[in-house]
Amino acid sequence: MHTKTLLELSHALHAREISSVELTRYFLDRIARYDDQLNSFITVTEQLALSQATAADAQLQAGTAGQLCGIPLAHKDIFCTSGVKTSCGSRMLDNFIAPYDATVVEKIRDAGMVTLGKTNMDEFAMGSSNETSYYGAVKNPWDTQAVPGGSSGGSAAALAARLAPIATGTDTGGSIRQPAALCGLTGLKPTYGLVSRYGMIAFASSLDQGGPIAHNAEDAALLMGAMAGFDPRDSTSLERPVENYTAHLNDSIAGLKVGLPKEYFSDGLDPEVGKVIDVAIKELEKAGATLHEIRLPNTDLAVPVYYIIAPAECSSNLSRFDGVRYGYRCKNPVDLIDLYKRSRGEGFGSEVKRRIMIGTYALSAGYYDAYYLKAQQIRRLISEDFKQAFQQVDVILGPTSPTVAFNIGEKVDDPVTMYLSDIYTIAVNLAGLPAMSIPAGFVKQRPVGMQLIGNYLQESKLLNVAHQYQQVTDWHKQIPTPFA
């Protein structure tokens, strides 16, 4: 069952070849058997899962079930889930039981899907390797000495090991796409505002976006249909009807104009990764796509701009965690200031503290204009680069990450080198564009991801290109041997 696509699982459930309870127990058993090797789950919600599976079986029996009804999935532990610990990978929220469901959780529950548990992540989504989690590093199923990427590394590792059929993630600077690339998966970061952020614990509000992590484009399209939609509780939610993201998967890509940014194939790219991407590009050419060299001249400014804007927003968002209302509280504070200082000092990890300090500095009197305002101005230039590019091409293609997965501990003491892991993904979030990563091959037995970037609200086009590529390749079907 763990090798089947969502459509295959849906068919088996609707044909009553297997019940949702049986399918759910199957994946719960795989989690119990394998997750000690990976540390991909923070919480396994066995009772909730079996309860939801029983309800799904009733719908399936009555003939009222939708396409996704009864299929298990895993949620990144950044989405509030009523009655379940929602930790954001932090000691600060280790004791927090969410009193309500995030909109994404609510929509997926209403589709009849079954929640297996909450997956591990970099603390408050701050990281590119899943090493900043209070619950320890997640290991990559392809090589347990390697990182799975971050911050959605728990979802990616669980999915790559086939501990769940599909999972949710969030992407602030590449946190769906980069772990998808490093774990050999398909990850979609939607247009900003397409998926509600209500109940998704905030890191950087103008950048955060939820999306699916899947084995293939078709599965991602199915879950995207369940996740997307206007939400009046989210002031940044786009008020537009939900598309059928599977409708154009089988369209021909003949004549598709593919842009290859010169900046994405420069000295910073591992030559072996570059060779894999070159082979993938040739497959799209065979399908009728045409290649066009383009320029995104402000690409080299994306990382420094991101690391002003994101920490500034995180400094503001994380000020709510003060030990007073909920979350971690220090023992025996002598006064209010001591409560604030020690609760935050003991509750946050080093990477979160680093970003709060950077953000507070960038927003402080005398530095706001020099740093934060200037970063927002350059952000506009980056958006203009993409706007100009999409006047020439339909999609933009490049590597998702400059290297394959690096070893655990290799970059954890070098924040700048770690930050550069997201050099090809960050600009997309700054511009609010949709993008996805799909498996394209391997270098030294570690997966390589290819990134596709689309114009605003062009998720269907990206999914179409990815699906057509996956019709002629089988990288997305590969399973790490120990978990096969």
- Catalytic site positions: 76, 151, 175
Residue with tokens 């009849």: 112
Q: How many angstroms separate the CA atoms of 124 and 314, rounded?
A: 9
Number of C-beta neighbours around residue 275 at 10 A: 13
Q: How many angstroms separate the CA atoms of 252 and 289, rounded?
A: 10
Strand partners, 454: 395
Q: Which amino acid appears at position 212 of this protein?
A: P
Q: Which amino acid appears at position 329 of this protein?
A: R
Task: Name which of 74, 113, 102, 114 is nearest 202 in CA terms.
Answer: 102
Q: How many angstroms separate the CA atoms of 399 and 396, rounded?
A: 10
Q: How far apart are the first and last CA of the chain?
A: 11
Element (H, E) at 435: strand 435-443
Q: How many angstroms separate the CA atoms of 250 and 23, rounded?
A: 29
Q: How many angstroms separate the CA atoms of 207 and 191, rounded?
A: 10
CA 161, chain centre distance (Å)? 17
Strand partners, 117: 44, 74
Answer positive or negative: Cα dihedral of 225, 477, 400, 260.
negative
Q: In Å, how far are 11, 24, 85, 145 from 50, measured between CA atoms?
A: 20, 7, 18, 33
**φ/ψ (deg, to 5) at 202:** -75, 140
Number of C-beta neighbours around residue 156 at 10 A: 33
Written as six digits, the tokens of 130 are: 């899943």
3-state secondary structure of 353: helix
Q: Are strands 395-399 and 446-454 parallel, antiparallel or unpaired?
A: antiparallel
Cross-sheet strand order for the sheet of 210-214: 41-44, 114-119, 72-76, 167-170, 210-214, 186-189, 435-443, 446-454, 395-399, 257-261, 290-294
